[in-house]
């Protein structure tokens, strides 16, 4: 952990670990990392399916003599889920996406809550590359 911010910011309800601008950057990074992990998992679920199961089935329901009858009207291929192309070593390494997300989540939760006195404020311990990856993900999700 290399980026250590140790400035005390007094707010209405106590002392905060970082400035509002840093908090908003951390909040956006948290959101981007979470979305990237969700999209990666969605893609992995799609890949695990057999090709004949990667379809969206449109069904028609009718009632005949009190019984509900369902039949498949059409099948359209399910599109490949969009996901950030993250190399394997980045996903699973020491500072992989999930590891980086867990650190960012922990620090984000800590930054959200003020403490009673200035002495209780501890510096945020964020990895240096979290801003780089947040920028990469921001660019990826901006090109929808």
Phi, psi of 122 (to 5 degrees): -110, 150
What is the rounded distance in angstroms from the CA atom of residue 144 to the CA atom of residue 140?
A: 8
Model confidence pLDDT, tens digit, residues 27-84 = 999 999 999 989 988 998 999 999 999 999 999 999 999 899 999 899 999 999 988 8
SS3 content of the chain, % helix, strand, coil (to 5): 50, 20, 30
CB 114 within 8 A of CB 14: yes
Model confidence pLDDT, tens digit, residues 93-121 = 555 777 888 899 999 999 999 999 999 99
Q: Model's pTM, two decimal places?
A: 0.78
Q: Which residue in 35, 29, 34, 19 sits closest to 108, CA to CA?
A: 29
Residue 100, class by beta-carbon neighbours within 10 Å (0-12 exposed, 13-18 middle, 19+ buried)? buried
Structural domain boundaries of the chain?
A: 3-49+82-142
């Amino acid at each position: 952990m290399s980026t250590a911010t140790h400035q005390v910011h007094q707010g209405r309800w106590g002392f905060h670990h970082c400035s509002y601008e840093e908090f908003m950057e951390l909040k956006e990074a948290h959101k981007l990392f979470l979305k990237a992990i969700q999209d990666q998992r969605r893609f992995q679920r799609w890949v695990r399916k057999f090709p004949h199961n990667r379809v969206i089935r449109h069904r028609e329901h009718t009632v005949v003599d009190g019984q509900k009858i369902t039949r498949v009207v059409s099948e359209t291929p399910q599109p490949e889920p969009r996901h950030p192309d993250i190399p394997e070593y980045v996903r699973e390494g020491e500072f992989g996406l999930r590891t980086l997300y867990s650190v960012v989540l922990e620090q984000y939760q800590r930054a959200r809550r003020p403490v009673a006195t200035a002495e209780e404020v501890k510096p945020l311990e964020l990895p240096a590359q979290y801003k780089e990856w947040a920028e990469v993900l921001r660019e990826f999700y901006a090109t929808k």
